[in-house]
């Protein structure tokens, strides 16, 4: 475990080299992690070292540093140290601290979402195939990761065409009395109504899993043999169905694009840098199939070189993800052996990191690098346009500088029910979706449909949290501009809310529909000033419309999800000890939650999977005997 006993105060010295030099007498040759802090205590940089004393002595030298390192040293007012038992442990701790503290001079992976998988559930006689994201708690076989939900959905669609597996929920399966539309369009074998036996369906599941394991040729050969036998037996309808499945499988193989023959499992990671910006493309190869790609734009720590950017990316990317057996890189990294050891420890098996120079693996890396180059060029072009629009916002609304963070708020409800507030965020790089937030309206004393009251609750919660987490506004989560959907009344209300929070220096604009509520005739309202409009073809007007529409889209989507959840809820959700499995058993036995609530104690005890104690709990819940 890390030991922070070496983190201690040292004699005061001036910033920079002298301050770094003052720590040398307190350090030994242990491996560990160090932090460099500025005069306000903000962390400038987190680094690891095989030998802390040797690494810090390098910083204490007066020359030989890159411009980036020289600036960092000059701003250093203090340092902190954590010793570790091994350098591998130091590497893992370093990446955790970087993600937690987000130091200015470190490379930082800003988008770190989980990846979806395909789950073939195994808790039912007729397994369901579905998309899965998150912890792998359900019983079944998991295949992935896929680069995006879109990649999963495409694959699931293909699997339905070829293998006719069901994707309906277990409760839907149990309630069917006749086949659904998917059976009619040859996307499901309809096991729910006995159109296929358990053994036959099991064969379809096995074929689908062989396909997901990269054994599609075997599957195709097997289907061809079955088709020939059916034809010889004059089972022409069955032969035609098998022919259709073979055609669908052929189309799937053609649509998958680059499918490497010699690489069964790998992540292909390529970096392209230009003008201080970086793009990393990650391609996922599983079962000799390309399961999609995703691009990332890590912060380059004020000018880090390619080896450092790529090494930091690997450490942070695999912090919450299981690494594959092979990682193919476009550039060598500084501590490849150390990273290999760390990832191998995490995976519990051997992990290989390679920079291929020739052959199929090199072609895969070249393809990823080309994608990285093209993606970064598009992003830089879009960023230039976005920068111009933000400058236009500043000019149109008399702001001192172009806003780096715009927060847009909206509410959604139906006559006050399932009310939600929504906040979206935009900045120099466009919409920052990882910063979007939804707020379930909690106020019990709000009049249904009270938009002012809902907005007050949302903004109060938002800024109370900001004041608690970052009162000195050191981070990048404070907005420079608030956009509110509404006119003078909403703006006045928001101004009052901000005064109550003691935050009166953030610009705010109300966007109200103009004459006939037509888009393009919006009026803009500011506290204490007359409303005004922008000319009809002003790019800034279109930009504001996009911001408002995105907030409205997000609010509506959040509201619909909450309403759908409420519609699907049953009183059983609130019964202690009744989870999904017991709920399914009760609904299957009684037919409805209402019937469960009316059931006698003996009837409840007769349900499979419901113990006497749980039966009594359920009965007491619905009969007020607690």
Q: Are residues 245 and 140 in the same domain?
A: yes
| Distance, CA of 144 to CA of 284 (rounded, Å) | 9
Q: Indicate whether 276 pLDDT > 60.
A: yes
Residue 59 is assigned to a structural domain of this protein: yes
Query: Looking at the DSSP assignment, which residues form a beta bridge with residue 132?
Result: 117
Mean pLDDT of the chain: 85
Q: What's the pLDDT band for 216 if we cut at 50, 70, 90?
A: low
Q: Are residues 143 and 30 in the same domain?
A: no
Residue 331 in tokens: 């550039």
Contact 278, 300 (CB under 8 A): yes
Contact 201, 208 (CB under 8 A): no
Rounded to an integer, the average pLDDT of 53-73 is 91
Q: Are residues 99 and 121 in the same domain?
A: no
Q: Which of 102-106, 289-293, 359-363, 375-379 is the least confident region?
A: 289-293
| Distance, CA of 201 to CA of 124 (rounded, Å) | 12
How many domains, in total, are found in the chain?
5
Helix-, strand-, coil-residue percentages of the chain, each rounded to 5: 45, 20, 35
Residue 584 in tokens: 């399914």
What CATH number did the domain enclosing 411 receive? 3.30.420.340
Provide the H-helix boundaries in 256-358: 306-317, 336-347
Q: Indicate whether 483 pLDDT > 90.
A: yes
Residue 260 neighbours by CB under 8 Å, 6+ apart:
285, 288, 290, 360, 361, 364
Q: Which of 235-249, 317-331, 530-544, 545-559 is the least confident region?
A: 235-249
Residue 424's pLDDT is what? 94
Q: What are phi and psi of 348, to 5 degrees?
A: 75, 25
Query: Looking at the DSSP assignment, which residues form a beta bridge with residue 266?
Result: 285
Query: Looking at the DSSP assignment, which residues form a beta bridge with residue 562?
Result: none
In a 3-state reduction of DSSP, which class is residue 599?
coil
What CATH number did the domain enclosing 586 receive? 1.10.150.20
Residue 251 is assigned to a structural domain of this protein: yes
Q: Are residues 141 and 212 in the same domain?
A: yes
Q: Indicate whether 622 pLDDT > 90.
A: no
Residue 386 is assigned to a structural domain of this protein: no
Rounded to an integer, the average pLDDT of 436-454 is 75
Q: Indicate whether 38 pLDDT > 70.
A: yes
Residue 236's pLDDT is what? 81
Q: Are residues 366 and 276 in the same domain?
A: yes
Q: Are residues 420 and 557 in the same domain?
A: yes
Q: What's the pLDDT band for 91 if we cut at 50, 70, 90?
A: very high
363: left (phi over 0), alpha (psi -120 to 50) or beta: alpha
| Distance, CA of 194 to CA of 187 (rounded, Å) | 16
Q: Which of 54-58, 402-406, 526-530 is the least confident region?
A: 526-530
Q: Indicate whether 206 pLDDT > 50.
A: yes
Beta strands in 346-452 (DSSP E): 352-354, 406-414, 417-427, 430-431, 437-440
Residues 388-399 have pLDDT tens digits of 999 999 999 999
Domain final position from 236, 255, 274: 255
| Distance, CA of 588 to CA of 591 (rounded, Å) | 6
Residue 389 neighbours by CB under 8 Å, 6+ apart:
539, 540, 543
Distances (CA, A) of 587 to 169, 490, 572, 578, 579: 13, 47, 9, 12, 12
| Distance, CA of 321 to CA of 284 (rounded, Å) | 13
Residue 397 is assigned to a structural domain of this protein: no
Domain final position from 255, 289, 322: 255
Q: Indicate whether 180 pLDDT > 80.
A: yes
Q: What's the pLDDT band for 519 if we cut at 50, 70, 90?
A: low
Residue 110 is assigned to a structural domain of this protein: no
Q: Are residues 63 and 206 in the same domain?
A: no
Nearest to 313 by CA among 288, 289, 294: 294
Q: What's the pLDDT band for 368 if we cut at 50, 70, 90?
A: very high
Q: Indicate whether 534 pLDDT > 60.
A: yes
DSSP 447: P
Residue 515's pLDDT is what? 57
Q: What's the pLDDT band for 9 if we cut at 50, 70, 90?
A: very low
What CATH number did the domain enclosing 73 receive? 3.40.1440.10
Distances (CA, A) of 136 to 128, 152, 319, 579, 607: 15, 16, 17, 17, 28
Q: Are residues 453 and 526 in the same domain?
A: yes
Residue 448's pLDDT is what? 63
DSSP 24: G
Nearest to 368 by CA among 330, 322, 416: 330
pTM score: 0.71
Q: Are residues 149 and 191 in the same domain?
A: yes
Based on its alpha-carbon atoms, the radius of gyration of the chain, rounded to whole angstroms, reads 30
Q: Which of 230-234, 287-291, 413-417, 575-579 is the least confident region?
A: 413-417
Percentage above 70 pLDDT, the chain: 90
| Distance, CA of 513 to CA of 329 (rounded, Å) | 52
Q: Which of 67-81, 133-147, 213-227, 353-367 is the least confident region?
A: 213-227
| Distance, CA of 8 to CA of 23 (rounded, Å) | 9
Residue 383 is assigned to a structural domain of this protein: no
| Distance, CA of 232 to CA of 225 (rounded, Å) | 11
Domain that holds residue 498: 406-566
Residue 3's pLDDT is what? 56
| Distance, CA of 590 to CA of 588 (rounded, Å) | 6
Q: Which of 53-67, 154-168, 319-333, 539-553 is the least confident region?
A: 154-168
**Burial of 112 per CB tally in 10 Å (0-12, 13-18, 19+):** middle
| Distance, CA of 426 to CA of 421 (rounded, Å) | 17
Q: Are residues 97 and 33 in the same domain?
A: yes
Q: Indicate whether 8 pLDDT > 50.
A: no
Residues 116-149 have pLDDT tens digits of 999 999 889 999 999 998 888 889 999 888 888 8
| Distance, CA of 182 to CA of 161 (rounded, Å) | 10
Q: Indicate whether 28 pLDDT > 60.
A: yes
Residue 462's pLDDT is what? 92
| Distance, CA of 412 to CA of 449 (rounded, Å) | 9
| Distance, CA of 186 to CA of 201 (rounded, Å) | 14
Residue 577 is assigned to a structural domain of this protein: yes
Q: Indicate whether 11 pLDDT > 50.
A: no
The string of DSSP codes covering 571-595 is GGGGSTT--HHHHHHHHHHHSSHHH
Residues found in the chain: 626
The string of DSSP codes covering 58-99 is HHHSSS---HHHHHHHHH--EEEEEE-SSHHHHHHHHHHHHH
Residue 394 is assigned to a structural domain of this protein: no
Q: Is the peptide bond before 145 cis (omega within 30 degrees of 0)?
A: yes
Name which residue leads in pLDDT, 266 or 598: 266
Q: Indicate whether 53 pLDDT > 90.
A: yes
Q: What's the pLDDT band for 192 if we cut at 50, 70, 90?
A: very high
Residue 290's pLDDT is what? 85
Q: Are residues 127 and 243 in the same domain?
A: yes
Nearest to 313 by CA among 140, 112, 499: 112
Residues 338-367 have pLDDT tens digits of 999 999 998 899 999 999 999 999 999 999
| Distance, CA of 77 to CA of 9 (rounded, Å) | 12
Residue 10's pLDDT is what? 45
Q: Are residues 97 and 153 in the same domain?
A: no
Residue 51 in tokens: 């030998």
Residue 5's pLDDT is what? 45
């Amino acid at each position: 475990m890390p030991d922070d006993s070496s983190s201690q105060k040292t004699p005061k010295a001036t910033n920079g080299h002298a301050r770094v030099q003052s720590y040398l007498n307190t350090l030994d040759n242990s491996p560990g992690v160090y932090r460099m802090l500025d005069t306000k205590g903000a962390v400038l940089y987190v680094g690891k070292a095989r030998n802390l004393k040797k690494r810090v002595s390098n910083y204490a030298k007066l020359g030989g540093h890159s411009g980036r390192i020289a600036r960092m040293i000059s701003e250093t007012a203090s340092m902190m140290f954590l010793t570790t038992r091994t350098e591998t442990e130091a590497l893992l701790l370093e990446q955790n601290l970087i993600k937690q503290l987000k130091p200015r001079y470190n490379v930082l992976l800003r988008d770190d979402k989980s990846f979806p998988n395909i789950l073939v559930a195994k808790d039912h006689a007729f397994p369901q195939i579905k998309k899965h994201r998150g912890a792998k708690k359900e019983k079944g076989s998991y295949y992935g990761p896929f680069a995006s939900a879109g990649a999963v959905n495409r694959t699931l669609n293909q699997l339905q065409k070829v293998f006719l597996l069901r994707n309906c929920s277990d409760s839907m399966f149990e309630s069917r009395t006749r086949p659904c539309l998917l059976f009619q369009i040859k996307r499901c074998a309809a096991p729910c109504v006995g159109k296929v036996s358990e053994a036959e369906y099991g064969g379809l599941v096995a074929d689908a899993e062989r396909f997901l394991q990269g054994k599609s040729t075997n599957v195709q050969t097997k289907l061809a043999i079955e088709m020939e036998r059916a034809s010889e037996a004059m089972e022409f309808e069955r032969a035609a169905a098998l022919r259709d499945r073979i055609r669908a499988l052929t189309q799937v193989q053609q649509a998958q694009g680059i499918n490497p023959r010699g690489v069964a499992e790998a992540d292909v990671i390529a970096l392209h840098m230009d003008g201080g910006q970086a793009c990393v493309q990650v391609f996922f190869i599983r079962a000799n199939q390309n399961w999609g790609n995703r691009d990332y734009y890590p912060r380059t720590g004020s000018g880090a070189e390619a080896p450092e950017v790529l090494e930091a990316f690997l450490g942070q990317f695999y912090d919450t993800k299981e690494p594959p057996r092979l990682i193919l890189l476009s550039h060598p990294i500084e501590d490849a052996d150390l990273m290999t050891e760390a990832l191998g420890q995490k995976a519990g098996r051997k992990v290989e990191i390679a920079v291929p120079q020739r052959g199929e693996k090199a072609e895969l890396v070249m393809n990823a690098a080309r994608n990285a180059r093209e993606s970064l060029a598009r992003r830089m072009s879009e960023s230039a346009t976005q920068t111009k629009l933000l400058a236009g916002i500043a000019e149109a609304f008399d702001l001192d500088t172009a806003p780096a963070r715009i927060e847009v708020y909206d509410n959604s409800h139906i006559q006050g029910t399932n009310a939600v507030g929504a906040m979206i965020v935009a900045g120099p790089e466009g919409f920052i979706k990882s910063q979007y937030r939804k707020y379930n309206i909690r106020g019990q004393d709000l009049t249904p449909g009270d938009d002012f009251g809902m907005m007050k609750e949302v903004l109060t919660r938002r800024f109370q949290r900001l004041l608690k987490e970052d009162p000195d506004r050191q981070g990048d989560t404070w907005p420079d501009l608030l956009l509110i959907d509404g006119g003078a009344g909403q703006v006045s209300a928001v101004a009052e809310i901000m005064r109550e929070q003691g935050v009166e220096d953030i610009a705010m604009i109300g966007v109200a529909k103009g004459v006939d509520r037509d888009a393009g005739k919006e009026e803009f309202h500011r506290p204490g000033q007359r409303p005004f409009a922008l000319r009809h073809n002003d790019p800034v007007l279109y930009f504001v419309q996009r911001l408002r529409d995105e907030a409205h889209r997000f609010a509506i989507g959040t509201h619909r999800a909450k309403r759908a959840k409420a519609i699907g809820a049953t009183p059983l959700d609130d019964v202690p000890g009744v989870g999904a499995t017991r709920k399914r058993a009760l609904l299957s036995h009684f037919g409805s939650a209402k019937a469960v609530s009316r059931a006698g104690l003996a009837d409840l005890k007769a349900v499979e999977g419901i113990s006497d104690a749980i039966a009594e709990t359920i009965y007491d819940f619905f009969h007020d005997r607690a």
